[in-house]
Structure 1
Amino acid sequence: MSDSSADMDGELLPETRRALLHRLAVAQAEGRVPSAVGAVVRDGRTVWTGVRGGAVGPPGAAGETEGGPTADTRYRIGSITKTFVAVLVVRLCDEGLLDLSDPLGEHLEVPAGAGEEVARATVAQLLSHSAGLAAEPRGPWWERTPGELRPGPADLFGERPVRHPAGRRHHYSNLGYALLGSLVERLRGAPWYEVLREEVLGPLGMDRTTPLPREPYARGWAVHPWADAVLPEPLADTGLMAPAGQLWSTAGDLCRFAAFLAAGDERVLGAGSLARMRTPAVAPEAESWDQAYGLGMQLVRSGGRLLAGHTGSMPGFLAAVWTAPGERLASVALVNATSGLPVGGLAADLLGIVAEREPSFPEPWRPRSQAGPDLLALTGPWYWGPSAFALRVREGRALELVPLGGAGRASRFRPEADGTWTGLDGYYAGETLRVMRGADGEVTHLDLGTFVLTRAPYDPEAPVPGGVDPQGWRAE
Structure 2
Amino acid sequence: MSLRPETARQVDALVADAQSTGHVPSLVVGVVRERGLTHLATAGTHPSPAGDLQYRIGSITKTMTAVLVMQERDAGRLALDDPLRRHLPEAAAAGPVTLRQLLGHAGGLQREPDGPWWERSEGVDLATLVAGFGATKIAYPPHRAFHYSNLAYGLLGGALERLTGTPWAQLVRERILAPLGMLRTTYAATGPFAAGYVVHPWHDTLREEPRTDTRAMAPAGQLWSTTTDLARWAAFLADPDPAVLAPATLDEMCAPVVLGDLDSWRGGYGLGIQLTRVGDRIYAGHGGSMPGYVAVLAVHRRSRTGVVGFANSYGFRTGGIGTLGHQVLTSVLDAEPAPARPWLPADAPPPADVAALAGRWWWMGIPLDVSWDRTTGELVGALRGERISRYAPDGPDRWRGRSGPEDGEVLAVLRDEAGGPVALDIATFVFTRSPDDEP
The TM-score with structure 1 as length reference comes to: 0.83
What displacement does 1:438 show? 5.9
The 3-state SS of whatever aligns with 1:126 is: helix
Match of 1:360 in 2: 338
Match of 2:389 in 1: 411
Which stretch shows the higher mean deviation, 409-418 or 294-303? 409-418
What is the aligned counterpart of 1:429 among 397, 400, 407?
Answer: 407
Match of 1:60 in 2: none
Which stretch shows the higher mean deviation, 321-330 or 242-251? 321-330
1:86 aligns with 2:66: yes
Match of 2:33 in 1: 42
Match of 2:379 in 1: 399
What displacement does 1:27 show? 0.8
**C-alpha distance in 1 between matches for 2:141 and 2:116:** 25
CA contact (8 A) 1:370 1:396 kept: no
Give unmatched runs, 5+ long, in structure 1.
1-9, 57-67, 465-476
Return closer, same or farther for 1:343/1:427 CA change in 2, 3 Å cut-off: same
What displacement does 1:142 show? 1.4
Match of 2:258 in 1: 282
What is the aligned counterpart of 1:22 among 10, 13, 16?
Answer: 13
What displacement does 1:216 show? 0.9
CA contact (8 A) 2:369 2:385 kept: no
Match of 1:324 in 2: 300
Letter in 2 for 1:24: V
The 3-state SS of whatever aligns with 1:319 is: strand
CA contact (8 A) 1:111 1:153 kept: no
Match of 1:145 in 2: 121
What displacement does 1:255 show? 0.8
**C-alpha distance in 1 between matches for 2:349 and 2:111:** 50
Q: What count of residue pairs does the alignment treat as equivalent?
A: 435
The TM-score with structure 2 as length reference comes to: 0.90
CA contact (8 A) 2:392 2:402 kept: yes
Which stretch shows the higher mean deviation, 426-435 or 374-383? 426-435
Return closer, same or farther for 1:246/1:168 CA change in 2, 3 Å cut-off: same
**C-alpha distance in 2 between matches for 1:191 and 1:128:** 23
CA contact (8 A) 1:370 1:397 kept: no
Match of 1:70 in 2: 50
1:170 aligns with 2:136: no
What displacement does 1:355 show? 2.4
Return closer, same or farther for 1:209/1:454 CA change in 2, 3 Å cut-off: same
Of all paired residues, the percent bearing the same amino acid is: 43
The 3-state SS of whatever aligns with 2:58 is: coil
Match of 2:100 in 1: 124
The 3-state SS of whatever aligns with 1:308 is: strand
What displacement does 1:315 show? 0.9
What displacement does 1:318 show? 0.3
The 3-state SS of whatever aligns with 1:412 is: strand
What is the aligned counterpart of 2:88 among 104, 108, 111?
Answer: 108
Return closer, same or farther for 1:201/1:390 CA change in 2, 3 Å cut-off: same
Letter in 1 for 2:186: T
What displacement does 1:296 show? 1.3
1:115-162: CA deviation from partner (whole Å, max 9, x where unpaired): 42xxx2233222211122222222322111221276434234145222
What displacement does 1:302 show? 2.7
1:193-342 matches, cutoff 5 A = 193-283=169-259, 286=262, 288-302=264-278, 304-340=280-316, 342=320
**C-alpha distance in 1 between matches for 2:214 and 2:237:** 26
1:75-133: CA deviation from partner (whole Å, max 9, x where unpaired): 00011001111112222222333333333333332433x242xxx22332222111222
What is the aligned counterpart of 2:354 among 375, 392, 398?
Answer: 375
Return closer, same or farther for 1:115/1:192 CA change in 2, 3 Å cut-off: closer
What is the aligned counterpart of 1:155 among 131, 136, 144?
Answer: 131
CA contact (8 A) 1:412 1:423 kept: yes
Return closer, same or farther for 1:110/1:423 CA change in 2, 3 Å cut-off: farther
Return closer, same or farther for 1:428/1:83 CA change in 2, 3 Å cut-off: same
**C-alpha distance in 1 between matches for 2:16 and 2:345:** 45
What displacement does 1:313 show? 0.7
**C-alpha distance in 2 between matches for 1:242 and 1:21:** 33
What displacement does 1:442 show? 4.2
Structural RMSD (CA): 2.6
**C-alpha distance in 2 between matches for 1:344 and 1:105:** 34
What displacement does 1:457 show? 4.8
Return closer, same or farther for 1:381/1:202 CA change in 2, 3 Å cut-off: same
Structure 1 runs of 4+ aligned residues shifted over 6 Å read none
What is the aligned counterpart of 2:111 among 135, 148, 151?
Answer: 135
CA contact (8 A) 1:76 1:318 kept: yes
1:97 aligns with 2:88: no
What displacement does 1:386 show? 4.1
**C-alpha distance in 2 between matches for 1:422 and 1:106:** 34
The 3-state SS of whatever aligns with 1:354 is: helix
Letter in 2 for 1:73: L
CA contact (8 A) 1:156 1:175 kept: no
CA contact (8 A) 1:34 1:337 kept: yes
Q: Which has the larger radius of gyration?
A: 1
1:405-461: CA deviation from partner (whole Å, max 9, x where unpaired): 65xx6433344468744334454333333334566644454343344444445845x
1:379-390 matches, cutoff 5 A = 379-390=358-369
**C-alpha distance in 1 between matches for 2:265 and 2:80:** 25
**C-alpha distance in 2 between matches for 1:77 and 1:370:** 50
Give unmatched runs, 5+ long, in structure 2.
none
What displacement does 1:71 show? 1.1
Letter in 1 for 2:151: L
Structure with the higher strand share, 1 or 2: 2
